[in-house]
Amino acid sequence: MLYDGSSLINEWSISSSFAGAGNTENSGQTPLGAHRVRAKIGDLQPINAVFVGRRATGEVYSDDLAAQFPQRDWILSRILWLCGNEVGYNRLGSVDSMRRFIYIHGTPDSEPMGQPLSHGCIRMRNHDVIELFDLVSVGMKVLITVD
């Protein structure tokens, strides 16, 4: 959900980690708590642009590309790289969300939303992550909670 103060701007379906919620390095879990957008990556890239190591590869995701690289964890369209705000909980040491490379990013449209399937990041539909990307700024607060 995206808020402006107490007003809801929009909400989207997401997918979080198959390993559950948690902040520990190498856990594969989605970290909880107060974060902020550290960087926005992918502005002006086409929808379904493929990223590896936060860099556009020049590829555009397709079924043929997926068949060629079946083991890839697809990071598509846009990246919002998150940084924890709570020292000892999601910032610094073995719980540092930024050092864990935790993003909000696009994923293949064939992947289900509302089900925990990521490797720690927050996955969104490509159109949705582009919409969110265009609405947020670097430094914007992000709160990750469990229902």
Predicted local distance difference test score (pLDDT) of residue 102: 98
Give mean pLDDT, residues 37-58.
97
Please state, as a whole number, how many other Cβ atoms lie within 10 Å of the Cβ of residue 116. Answer: 16
Here the tokens at position 102 are 């935790």
What does each C-alpha distance from 57 to 15, 24, 49, 75, 81 come to in angstroms?
Answer: 24, 29, 8, 11, 18
Looking at every residue in the chain, the average pLDDT score rounds to 96
Q: In the predicted model, is pLDDT for residue 146 greater than 90?
A: no
Domains of the chain: 13-144 (2.40.440.10)
* Per-residue pLDDT tens over the stretch 115-128: 999 999 999 999 99
Predicted local distance difference test score (pLDDT) of residue 104: 98
- Of 98, 44, 54, 99, residue with least CA distance to 75: 54
Here the tokens at position 137 are 């700024």
Predicted local distance difference test score (pLDDT) of residue 147: 75
* Per-residue pLDDT tens over the stretch 79-117: 999 999 999 999 999 999 999 999 999 999 999 999 999
Give the SS3 label for residue 56.
strand
Strands (E), 55-118: 55-60, 75-84, 103-106
Residue % of the chain over a pLDDT of 90: 98
C-alpha 113/C-alpha 116 separation (Å) is 8
